Amino acid sequence: MPTLIHHPLCPHSRFIRLVLAEYGIETQLLEERAGDRRAEFLELNPAGRTPIFVDDGGQIVPGAGPIAEYLDETRGAKAGPARLLPRDMETRVETRRLVDWFNLKFFDEVTNWLITEKVHKRYLAQGSAPDMDCVRVARANIRSHMRYIGFLTSERKWLAGDVLTYADFAAAAHISCADYLGDVPWEEDEHAKHWYQRVKSRPAFRPLIADRAPGMTPGRFYAELDF
């Protein structure tokens, strides 16, 4: 059975968990606190970040982007029309663009600030208090991203076009982390909210909804499908 080394509130790990679940790939989950900098973990990924995918046969694939590409190359064709990186070039390019948007831009402007200040400092840095100025910046930044999601989904069925793709799961993974922390302004854009409800209703999302970080109660809408 393949193994995914992850952290429950790592959005990049959540992205890959959603993809694996959508493809029906049964996977053993091993939790890792990247901040511990364990030697065995760093041997698998010298960058010291989750996730890391270890396939049957021992192939080690570190990082959300490489894992997504690896899964497309090794499992994508078997998914047929449900392939999450579609074969037509225009949608393929748009999917990759949006995956980068959320895994890089959204992470830099929103998720990283929220998780660093509200999770890592509290639980991994011996109880350090969060910098609320950083949290307020992340809360302000997320609003423009919600409006962008709303803009895209007002013109398209899914983020990258007419079919569900990696882009939807990358975006949903980051938003789910912010939602766990109670920091998603759902009133900002109705189109974005309805899109997230559709993604969240998929069976692949159920394990994430069931997740609970030790000592942290999720936000009021985290486990709700209709909110």
Each of the 227 residues of the chain gets a pLDDT tens digit; together they read: 999 999 999 999 999 999 999 999 999 999 998 888 899 989 989 999 999 999 999 999 999 999 999 999 999 999 999 999 999 999 999 999 999 999 999 999 999 999 999 988 876 656 678 889 999 999 999 999 999 999 999 999 999 999 999 999 999 999 999 999 999 999 999 999 999 999 999 999 999 999 888 778 899 999 888 88
C-alpha distances out from residue 157 to 67, 128, 153, 194, Å: 26, 43, 6, 11
Q: What's residue 21's pLDDT?
A: 98
Distance CA(29)–CA(54), nearest Å, equals 10
Residue 5 φ/ψ, nearest 5 degrees: -90, 125
Asked if the 89-210 domain carries CATH number 1.20.1050.10, the reply is yes
Q: What is the pTM of this model?
A: 0.95
Q: Parse the chain into domains and list their residue ranges.
A: 3-79, 89-210
For residue 159, give the 3-state DSSP assignment: coil
CATH class in words for 3-79: alpha beta
Which residues share a beta bridge with 30? 5
Which residues share a beta bridge with 4? 29, 53
- Other Cβ atoms less than 10 A from the Cβ of 71: the count is 23
